[in-house]
Amino acid sequence: MVPERLRPALDAANELARLFEAAGAHLYLVGGVVRDALLDRLSPGADLDFTTDALPTQTEDLLRSWADNIWTQGKRFGTIGAAKGGRRVEVTTHRAEEYEPASRKPEVAFSTALEADLSRRDFTVNAMALSLPDLVLVDPFNGTADLATRTLRTPLSPEASFTDDPLRMLRAARFIAGYGLEPDAQLFAAVTRLRGRLDIVSDERVRDELDKLMVVADPSSGLWFLVKTGLADEFIPELPALAVEQDPLHHHKDVLAHTIAVVQRARPDRIVRLAALFHDIGKPKTRSFGPGGTVSFHHHELMGARMTRDRMRALRYPVDDIERVSKLVELHLRFHTYAMGWTDSAVRRYVRDCGDLLDALNELTRSDCTTRNAAKAKALSMRMDELEKRIAALRDKEELAAIRPDLDGREVMEHLGLAPGPAVGRALAFLLEARLEEGPHSHDEAIKLLDQWWGGQPEAQPQV
């Protein structure tokens, strides 16, 4: 009985399979498509991955006769991509590639044996294929049993798998977290021994895999795997460094446990989750001790923002990502500097400083409350509710999303008879400060304020 969720995918797959069959080739659905179908997690419009015994040139010819368009960038690796009716597919010739120990790229060898192809895949739960159109499951490495027992294993020895492609060690963290799997002892030990091989993987591939981990429903078990195996030391050493820091503000034995709890609590938004991951990394460098052995981390948010920029640059993140995440880290304590009863001015400054990150910062702030003290947690939640109500109320009266001076530079220059220069910048800064403190002014009110300010400026004084 075919699950209804799988039927649209099979309709598209079988149409293509009959085309290959007529040409004397075999076609199989493979990898994550099969895994997710068995778990009833396959979305109706999911991309489809196939493997075949047809060589890439034959695959290309067959897809050209079937698809709306194709792409051949992966042809030398045996992969031809295509799209038809809004669905994307990739067809890859059975492979038996191996990596040289110091190489980031495989030496590709094509094969006519399906099992050889499946044996080179990362994990047993991805090393299954569905023969088409007869719908026979091919599972030589017991991936279905591992799905049932929630076990993460490799088809070959983990040493062989991780030597072939060290990124698989990082990918293991995502599968542990995303599918609720437990790594078997051999896999865990192999990652611990071979973690240094991650050094040959490009920073961009590591970054992309970290991003994928960050957006699973609950990344916490994957993060703990990275720390406990030592793999985190290879690409984000600031994370395990938090384990030695005792945090007096949270009921966790260390800042690491708190950090992972914050990531878990945050919504699965990549930028928010990355900010949660980095928000306390400045604590080790800012730790100080006070009377009675008290511990404090003054300005750790500023140190953390700098460290975040450095780490994200090392992982080749886009500039916009770096700026957004580091800004959230820098601002993550801002909420706590205010008590109940914020002035309108304080609310305006908070909104102005957050910009389009306002909702993300509020989410991070809520997630940062991991205390088990119900009264404290409730009090913080109420304060955040109150702040969001104040913001909403001011938004109804003012254009909070675009706070700017009540006059623009042209109006300032025309009124004061100034040419472009530093004095105009100072005037606009003064008007912005007045806007933040007092709210919006009419044009006449703004002109009056400008005149009062200008009267005290050196440029406005008579020359002797």
Closest Cα to residue 140, out of 151, 158, 128, 131?
128
Domain covering 1-146, topology: Beta Polymerase; domain 2 (3.30.460)
For the segment 389-413, the average pLDDT, to the nearest whole number, is 73
Residue extents of the structural domains in the chain: 1-146, 331-402, 409-459
State the pTM of this model.
0.81
pLDDT-above-70 percentage for the chain: 87
pLDDT at 393: 76
Minimum mean pLDDT among 149-153, 164-168, 354-358, 427-431: which range?
Answer: 427-431
Measure the CA–CA gap between 139 and 115, rounded to whole angstroms: 9
Confidence of residue 464 (pLDDT cuts 50, 70, 90): very low
Phi, psi of 136 (to 5 degrees): -100, 125
- Per-residue pLDDT of 210-249, as tens digits, reads 999 999 999 999 999 999 999 999 999 999 999 865 555 5
For the segment 317-346, the average pLDDT, to the nearest whole number, is 86
β-pair partners for 69: 83
For the segment 52-72, the average pLDDT, to the nearest whole number, is 95
End-to-end alpha-carbon separation of the chain, Å?
98
Phi, psi of 434 (to 5 degrees): -65, -40
Measure the CA–CA gap between 30 and 92, rounded to whole angstroms: 10
Measure the CA–CA gap between 54 and 19, rounded to whole angstroms: 12
For helices 220-229 and 255-265, give the axis angle rounded to 10 degrees: 150
Closest Cα to residue 406, out of 378, 367, 441, 451?
441
Q: List C-alpha distances in Å: 30 to 17, 104, 114, 131.
A: 13, 24, 10, 9
- Is the pLDDT confidence value at 2 over 70? no
pLDDT-above-90 percentage for the chain: 54
